Structure 1
Amino acid sequence: MNIGIHDLDVATTHFVLDLDEMAEALGIDPAKYEKGLGQDEFSVPAPDEDIVTMAATAASRLLSRHDASKIRMVLFATESSIDQSKAAGVFVHGLLGLPQAVRTVEFKQACYSGTAALQTAVNHVARYPEDQVLVIASDVARYAVVSGGEPTQGAGAVAMLISADPNLVVIEPGSGVFTADVNDFWRPNDSSTPYVEGKLSLDAYMNAATGSWDDLVARRGLDITDIDRFLHHQPFTKMARKAHARLGEHVGADLGPELIEESMTYNRRIGNSYTASLFFGLAAQLHGNPDLAGKRLGLFSYGSGSVAEFFTGIVQDGYTDHIHPETVREALDSRVPLTFAQYRELHASYIGASDNVEVPAVTAAPFRFTGITDHVRHYEAR
């Protein structure tokens, strides 16, 4: 049975910061961001936006094209969780008005958990072929100001519908996995921003890429030449390029940049979206090349700490009839530019506590976070 990604859609935030604006304000050569990181800008949430509002927006666009009664699970992947107990997907379930006969769960393992949710969905459909599963990866990457991570912030959500006989990509059985206990990136419960060990993080990412590839080869006997395009997790796009080059050195092959560059166009503009990053890359790959039918994609998913998976998918015939690049263009081009001072003010006004608060309406998106009453978060659908 062929099982995989039947449809996908995306959402990002109301605001955007151009990295040239940050470079000028900090007296930094813009090339440090454009070439050194491979980034041009990053999405910034309005006060009434979070992982739930972005997830609901992406999912509502997707479900407008499908029969929601077929959905039996909602799997929400994030490392920006808004509650230590209640799954963010439960809020989304309510906002979308999904049937109550649905299993809803939140997945967490840094940036990797979107892939864990995807594989769980594939396994469910293998057992119940008539079911469909809604997988959502949604995150806000928020770093401390005046830190190395500040220009690599971002935010976004990708919603995917997993089914039998998918329109877009069949996920092939057998993947390579890798786990190593590494303190390269982590966010304690009492911190609103993560801690990062830069060099260790890069080394852990590279080791996970080669380690998960080796496990994939051992399980399936694939050769590097069996992969037509590569998509890597993109905390910033230059990091994915480094992983691509390291993989080529590891297997003794010349992996040209043309095998990865098409997947980077959206992430250059969105910034880091953690669990959604790899799947923004997939969207960019499908939207940017009309000649992928029958081609095999190699996808490397990484989450700090660290867990990784290398898996493959076959792009389906007729996929270009089921993609919606105009949605992404509209989401990116309609963002409101911020000055550096405005961005820093928004960053400082982050609501991390559960005190009572009423949030002003800013976003034009169809869903918004309205505030907190008696420690309960409230949302509205417009």
Structure 2
Amino acid sequence: MSSWPKDVGVLAVEQIFPAQYVDQTQLEEYDGVSGGKYTLGLGQGKMGFCTDREDVQSFCLTVLHNLVKNNNLKYSQIGRLEVGTETIIDKSKSVKTVLMQLFEEEGVTDVEGIDTTNACYGGTAALFNAINWVESSTWDGRYAVVIAADLAVYPAGTARPTGGAGAVGMLIGPNAPLVFDRGIRATYMKHAYDFYKPNLASEYAIVDGKLSIQCYLSALDNCYQLYRKKAQKLDPTNVGIESLDAMIFHSPYCKLVQKSFARLIFNDYKLATDDVRNAKYPGLDKFKDVNLEDTYFDRDVEKAFMTISNDAFEKKTKPSLLLANQIGNMYTSSVHSGLVSLLVSKEPSELVGHRIGLFSYGSGLASSMYSISVTKDLSKLTALMKNLKNVKPLLEKRVKVSPQKFTEIMETREKNYLVAPFEPVSSINELFDGTYYLKHVDKVHRRSYGRYVSENV
């Protein structure tokens, strides 16, 4: 173990999202649903979306370019590039190979890694691959980069408000300010048809909403209990949610995250001794003998543990929901955007020395829980967080689009999905400065991209 690189983890993070959004309150009115259905029921505020000028490859080009530029890197310093996405443009050619055009100026071709796909879990699998590479005998001393990117698009109806879009880029290496805890990853995988995309001619998924929630909560239970067991082997005092200063979840919508945090408290309650239960959870005796698998849709359990966990949720998890609330579901980048949200919602001095838990879920199903230890070196953490200072200003710079215009854009996307040849019609002037955009799709589906830089820059 002494030969392993020390403190392997995240050295830098980059976040991008669309330059336009639709307001969920206005969308409720436009869709003719009851007030609060999307805002209170789902916990969503705004939803980012893309015009025909952006796709998953342009997202990845933008976030990779920004990560390299903002950290003064050379592409020759990157030895592994992993992409996690479920937004599939090509059934054979990986998004990673498209990104290699950014390496061409430096003549770099020796870069390991490829795309990883399984619903919203692909970004986590890519991240684990990168961590494992740095800690392996094949590591050559260069950095790894992980990109998680997706456009979450749904047809008109009840699922559409849970859409969104975004990408996160992470620089991985040793001596990091965000260190992955060794030996306590917990994984739970099973076969399920809760959300899947068998129709390759459409962006849309087939979704069994009730089953998807059941699978998510079941995976959470299993991952958390296994994580607790592994953590306690390393440190017997590491018991339950109290051992974590923050807890981040994959967020299809924010209300599910709040329910999930309460679910962890319910697990702690079930695993506690009678003495601890009586002292910490007064008035909840009626839930003592309830089986976990019988409670996925039990309103009494949900209400009781959301109430008792509310203060802890406000402290440990709510700060990580900024981007989920303002942008929506980002599939593979969702849990990592939760980490970005936490970092931009706190001062470095508030996070040094903390331990952060993360739960990643992808339908089908694949899930993991792991934790990150934040450095005690304030200067290292401050340097990482400095590059995220533009996240909140960019949120404010976005353009609000009416629900009617948003619907028209979604209809255009649906109509032109996989059409070739294709010329995008949306203006590039609506993009953030530095954004890569789709220029053209030729008759054999080859895509070309440009980079928008305004005259004011």
| TM-score normalised by L of structure 2 | 0.80
Specify the code of the residue in structure 2 equivalent to 1:220: A
The superposition leaves residues 106-158 of structure 1 with CA deviations (integer Å, 9 ceiling, x where unpaired) of 01011011111111101111122622111000000001112x21111100000
Q: CA deviation at 1:164?
A: 0.6
Q: Do the aligned residues in 1 keep the contact of 2:8 with 2:179 (CA within 8 Å)?
A: yes
- Secondary structure of 1:137's match? strand
Residue 191 of structure 1 is matched in structure 2 by 202
Residue 439 of structure 2 is matched in structure 1 by 370
Residue 370 of structure 2 is matched in structure 1 by 311
Q: Do the aligned residues in 2 keep the contact of 1:95 with 1:380 (CA within 8 Å)?
A: no
Are residues 1:301 and 2:382 paired?
Answer: no
Q: CA deviation at 1:30?
A: 3.5
Higher alpha-carbon deviation: 107-116 or 49-58: 49-58
Residue 451 of structure 2 is matched in structure 1 by 381
The alignment yields a C-alpha RMSD, in angstroms, of: 1.6
- Secondary structure of 2:395's match? helix
Specify the code of the residue in structure 2 equivalent to 1:2: D
Q: Do the aligned residues in 2 keep the contact of 1:70 with 1:132 (CA within 8 Å)?
A: yes
Residue 237 of structure 1 is matched in structure 2 by 254
The superposition leaves residues 245-291 of structure 1 with CA deviations (integer Å, 9 ceiling, x where unpaired) of 11110121764212111100111011000000001100011111221
Are residues 1:176 and 2:233 paired?
Answer: no
Q: Give, in whole Å, the separation in 2 of the partners of 1:14 and 1:94.
A: 24
The superposition leaves residues 273-330 of structure 1 with CA deviations (integer Å, 9 ceiling, x where unpaired) of 0000001100011111221111100100000111100000011232123213432123
The superposition leaves residues 339-362 of structure 1 with CA deviations (integer Å, 9 ceiling, x where unpaired) of 111111110111322410122352
Candidates 204, 220, 226, aligned match of 2:243: 226
Are residues 1:342 and 2:425 paired?
Answer: no
Residue 72 of structure 2 is matched in structure 1 by 66
Q: Do the aligned residues in 2 keep the contact of 1:140 with 1:156 (CA within 8 Å)?
A: yes
Candidates 3, 8, 12, aligned match of 2:8: 3
Are residues 1:266 and 2:323 paired?
Answer: yes
Q: CA deviation at 1:200?
A: 0.9
Q: Do the aligned residues in 2 keep the contact of 1:129 with 1:163 (CA within 8 Å)?
A: no
Percentage of pairs with the same residue: 28
Residue 328 of structure 1 is matched in structure 2 by 391
Specify the code of the residue in structure 1 equivalent to 2:132: N
Q: CA deviation at 1:81?
A: 1.6
Q: Give, in whole Å, the separation in 1 of the partners of 2:262 and 2:190.
A: 22
The superposition leaves residues 88-112 of structure 1 with CA deviations (integer Å, 9 ceiling, x where unpaired) of 1222231464621212400101101
The superposition leaves residues 51-104 of structure 1 with CA deviations (integer Å, 9 ceiling, x where unpaired) of 122222222222111323210111110011211111112222314646212124
Residue 115 of structure 1 is matched in structure 2 by 124
In the TM superposition, what are the counterparts of 1:249-288 in structure 2 within 5 Å?
249-252=266-269, 255=309, 256-257=312-313, 258-288=315-345
Q: Give, in whole Å, the separation in 2 of the partners of 1:51 and 1:223.
A: 40
Q: Give, in whole Å, the separation in 1 of the partners of 2:220 and 2:133.
A: 27
Higher alpha-carbon deviation: 213-222 or 372-381: 213-222
Q: Give, in whole Å, the separation in 2 of the partners of 1:135 and 1:321.
A: 19
Alignment gaps of 5+ in structure 1: none
Q: Give, in whole Å, the separation in 2 of the partners of 1:143 and 1:267.
A: 16
Q: Give, in whole Å, the separation in 2 of the partners of 1:204 and 1:287.
A: 31
Alignment gaps of 5+ in structure 2: 1-5, 233-237, 270-279, 281-307, 453-457
- Secondary structure of 2:13's match? strand
Q: Give, in whole Å, the separation in 1 of the partners of 2:159 and 2:77.
A: 41
Residue 171 of structure 2 is matched in structure 1 by 161
Specify the code of the residue in structure 2 equivalent to 1:341: Q
Quick check: which one's helix share is greater?
2
Q: Give, in whole Å, the separation in 1 of the partners of 2:331 and 2:51.
A: 18
Specify the code of the residue in structure 1 equivalent to 2:28: A
Q: Do the aligned residues in 2 keep the contact of 1:2 with 1:164 (CA within 8 Å)?
A: yes
Specify the code of the residue in structure 2 equivalent to 1:125: V
Specify the code of the residue in structure 2 equivalent to 1:346: I
Q: Give, in whole Å, the separation in 1 of the partners of 2:396 and 2:59.
A: 16
